Amino acid sequence: MCGIVGYVGKREAVPILLEGLARLEYRGYDSAGVAVLNGAGVETRKLAGRVAALRELVDREPLHGRCGIAHTRWATHGSPNMTNAHPHADCTGTIALVHNGIIENADVLRARLERAGHHFATETDTETLTHLIEESPGKTLEERVAAALRHVEGTYGLAVVSADDRGKVVAARRGSSVLLGVADGEYFVASDASAVLAHTRSVVHLADGDIAVLTPDGYRVLDGDAHEQDRAVDAVEWELDDLALGNFTKGDCTSLRRVVIVACGTSWHAGLVGRHILEELAGLPVEVEYASEFRYRRLLPLAGTLTIAISQSGETADTLEALRAARAAGARVMGLVNVVGSTIAREADAGVYLHAGPEIGVASTKAFTSQIAALALLGLYLGRARGLAVETGRELVKSLVALPDLIARTLHLGAEVRELAERYAGARNALYLGRGVSFPVALEGALKLKEISYIHAEGYPAAEMKHGPIALIDAEMPVVFVAPRDGVYQKVRTTMEEVRARGGRIIVVTTEDVNGELDRVADHVLRVPLTASLLSPLLTMIPLQLLAYHIAVRRGCDVDRPRNLAKSVTVE
């Protein structure tokens, strides 16, 4: 969600800025823009659309300069159009600024600035920043930025240039990730390391409240009162190898009393699977909370609580704030994160990197799989420290080791699923049902379908169907059951009968040991290989991801970049 890149150095800025923006595309955006400082002052190009289109625009109307900023915008305040795209200017066009986050008191600031004679050109909250800087006192750009930010409530990661203070990029951070890339005679600003890795692996993560000043001669990090801050230069290679549980020792594991998992979206679904895994293997009570709800509740401190924040991006605003709230309430906090060096990874007391590689498609898929695999390993680790029998642990490890082959076999269902997709691509609604460890799979299957094919879909615990959703069942309603043969299989089969009796269309994802017994009740049966029940989501999820994918392709949807979605949700 929104991406920032900035550059100052000896090379032409625009190719570097555009390449950085392309690296940040995966975060999701709807418009893009770039501004450079040169002899003419500040020059800007921006549009609603893709970075490729911005590149074409810059080819037609070139920009030159060795200092500049660029942005991909995911609309929050104001439509996704060219005017609202960043960079934004002040009244005189002297300042250009890009921003991630939300200025919460934007309405109040705007009214005050308009009364003082400022002219606003956009609907965005960001534009208040340019006018605040314009009227703020100070000899240097950084002094004016610091003065302006004193009036701001909300979150920001920003980069700004000014024709009044040339050859300089000023960046600032509060609640929205910003890092600096450090190279020989050139310096970068970015919202994550992927945007600078082509040029340097030395990065400086800004802390909340930091203001950074970058010139071709070096960089400085200041606080709001212009005091120099000492920030470490991290080598990205070193962090990539960091798989450790930090200083989380076996002693900590035995004193644990409960686990609270906080996450959003697909990561929350993985957390629901994790609850089954951790309760079963580690014998710990587990609560799974939407991070956005958790952070605003009164948190009752309970000694021995471990809070696990699960996040692919490591930048999801609600998950980050939930982690901070848990820590403030006295909990130990741990991150289960994919993106190395991300804010959640850095703020957690301990953590496990998923190392799933960059997840480029906006809809989360391989992160879900890796999160569950990591939760299984964590369950084994905590379990063994808390009395899980070594044989039980070994059996699960064998099942984990066998998974890559089983996943490869499950992918052979592709052709069968494509045929199914042909048949159901015109559906307007779908219901996904499962129980136990398969209930989160049903939720995730429904989420994938709605995200990428725009078909309305709901996931439910199978037994809850008769408490309401059963009213929806008719011949137009595909009902997808996630029903591997496990302890609740027969119960779920009863729910299938109830759907059948009302004429619903039934698709079942089950295991290979279920033979002809579903033929009478189900319209379609997809069989995945057998594995340990706790790990079955790693296999049953695959046909559901494929189903969503093929239906979306059949409907002509952009599978990688579904409308309205952002890869990294850095606002509340």
By CB under 6 A, name the binding residues for ligand F6R.
264-267, 311-313, 316, 319, 363-364, 447, 451, 568-569
Chain residue whose CB lies nearest ligand F6R: 265
- Give me the least distance between CB of 536 and ligand F6R, in Å please: 20
- Give me the least distance between CB of 364 and ligand F6R, in Å please: 3
- Give me the least distance between CB of 194 and ligand F6R, in Å please: 14
31 or 313: CB nearest ligand F6R: 313
| Sheet strands side by side (includes 169-174) | 88-89, 95-100, 156-162, 169-174, 211-215, 218-222
Give alpha helix (H) positions in 348-437.
366-385, 390-411, 414-424
319 or 438: CB nearest ligand F6R: 319
Residue 417: what residue type? V
CA distance 547 to 542: 9
CA distance 242 to 468: 48
Identify the active-site residue in 46, 168, 448, 567. Answer: 567
| 139: annotated active-site residue | no
Q: If we measure between CA atoms, which residue out of 130, 193, 204, 203 comes closest to residue 161?
A: 130
CA distance 166 to 141: 9
122 or 311: CB nearest ligand F6R: 311
- Give me the least distance between CB of 452 and ligand F6R, in Å please: 8
Q: If we measure between CA atoms, which residue out of 137, 64, 129 comes closest to residue 101?
A: 129
| 491: annotated active-site residue | no
CA distance 47 to 71: 11
- Give me the least distance between CB of 549 and ligand F6R, in Å please: 12
In the block, which residue shows the tokens 């060795």? 66
265-282 and 390-411 are packed helices; what angle lies between their axes, rounded to 10 degrees?
A: 150
203 or 262: CB nearest ligand F6R: 262
231 or 327: CB nearest ligand F6R: 327
CA distance 71 to 65: 17
- CA torsion 47-50-53-55 (nearest 10°) is 100
- Give me the least distance between CB of 367 and ligand F6R, in Å please: 6
Q: State both tokens at 395.
A: 């059996």
380 or 571: CB nearest ligand F6R: 571
CA distance 471 to 469: 5
Active site residues: 2, 567
